[in-house]
A = this chain, B = another copy of it.
Amino acid sequence: MGIFAFALDGSLTAIRTARVDIVGVMALGTVTAIGGGIIRDVLLGETPATFQDWRYLVTALAGCTLAFFLSRQLTHLSKPILVFDAAGLSLFVVIGATKALEFGFGPLQAVILGVITGVGGGTIRDVLLNRVPTVLSANSHLYAIPAMIGAGFVVLVDLTGFGPGWIAVIGALLCFTIRILALVYRWNAPNPPGAPPL
């Protein structure tokens, strides 16, 4: 579900932002969907999960195909897509942090790798589209911060040696809720002192 939502969102961003053909739409949507997991797995020293199981790639390509043919209709659905995107982010972040812990990485590293799993794909997409990545910019409505909180929760609970399983669900829900609240109330992270207002 996360991969499908990210592929949809990535493809639509590509169509809206640049002059791309079908190759560009498919490539940018797929990169958005699987790029974060690939960076994480490369840093973990693993063969990327998306190259081991073809269903990830097919799901991503299905999302891109839908976006290519229905881009005009889907732009009216930007709000539901933002919700799907927030859900994808939450799942990716929690999965990434959990995987890093399983590989024996420390807590700080696990949080960072969780966040990278969630935001890495969109960052590569924005770099390829020649934009400053949304996640870094001053008007991102806390994209990375809910990701850190979700990953941080999972990692903290893991440190206490307390339970696995549904803890990840709570981490994902935390991330999802904060992201949605930030979108609704237009929260932004602090800017450097002295920066001009948005």
Contacts and interface: CB of A to CB of B under 8 A. Distances in A.
Interface of A: 14-15, 18-25, 27-28, 38, 42-48, 51, 54, 57-58, 68-69, 71-72, 105-106, 108-109, 112-113, 123, 127-133, 135-140, 143-145, 188-195, 198
Contact of A192 (B25, B48, B54, B135): B25
Q: How many copies does the complex hold?
A: 3
B109 A192 contact: no
A189 B58 CA distance: 21
B21 A190 contact: yes
B140 A21 contact: yes
Contacts of A109: 51, 54, 57
Given A51-B105, A51-B109, A144-B23, A128 B133 contact: yes
A54 B18 contact: no
Given A21-B138, A23-B144, A130-B131, A44 B43 contact: no
B130 A24 contact: no
Given A24-B138, A51-B109, A129-B132, 18 more contacts: A18-B136, A19-B137, A19-B138, A20-B138, A21-B138, A21-B190, A21-B191, A22-B189, A22-B190, A22-B192, A23-B136, A23-B189, A43-B48, A54-B109, A68-B192, A71-B192, A71-B194, A128-B132
